[in-house]
Amino acid sequence: MAEIQPKGDGGGKGGKKRAKKMSTKIDMTPMVDLAFLLLTFFMLTTTFNKPQTMEINMPVKAKDPVEQTELKASEALTVILGKNDKVYYYQGLNDGKSQPELKSTDFSDKGIRQVLLDLGRTIPKLTVLIKPVKTARYKNVVDILDEMNITNTRRYALVEMTDLDTKLLETVTGAPDGK
């Protein structure tokens, strides 16, 4: 704690007596003990968050090009990630022969998640082609990968936008890149 200690006797040889000087001394040990107790308490009671990661298995490069199987249009769902968090999708492949019906949705549980769940029940080998436009946000790609994990969709691929898909998106939105 704190204490006051007198210094010297205050008297000298000469006759005049001086007042005794008092010095203060503060003992810092209890404050240091309290700081370490608080530090230890907070370290032991805090829960540490582990970073959440998602495992993505990349396909092995085929030695023989014939070894790769061609995707059937009946088993494909194309998801286009547009600008301003817009999600467009159509069932099948856009081969230029017939124009697919492009539908719009969002990232809610009644949006793309419900579409994936419904099609996953009816099509056992559903393959989702994810095509982000150049103006799509990185967050949207992460969100759609999360939806693949939530809906237990095991077959999906990140694919570049084709010219046919860009034209299809322009017919619906009226602007290039889904603006």
pLDDT score of 38: 94
For residue 157, the one-letter residue type is: A
Question: pLDDT-based confidence at 14, cuts 50/70/90?
Answer: low
Question: pLDDT-based confidence at 37, cuts 50/70/90?
Answer: very high
pLDDT score of 166: 86
Task: Name the nearest CA neighbour of 169 among 124, 133, 118.
Answer: 133
Euclidean distance between CA atoms 127 and 153, whole angstroms: 8
- CATH architecture for the domain at 77-178: 2-Layer Sandwich (3.30)
| Mean pLDDT, range 148-167, rounded to an integer | 87
What does the domain layout of the chain look like in residue ranges?
Answer: 77-178
How do residues 109-124 score in pLDDT, each as one tens digit?
A: 888 889 888 888 888 8
CB 83 within 8 A of CB 90: no
- Percent of the chain scored above 90 by pLDDT? 9
Question: pLDDT-based confidence at 56, cuts 50/70/90?
Answer: low
Euclidean distance between CA atoms 153 and 45, whole angstroms: 38
pLDDT of residue 13 exceeding 70, the answer is: no
Question: pLDDT-based confidence at 162, cuts 50/70/90?
Answer: confident
pLDDT score of 91: 87
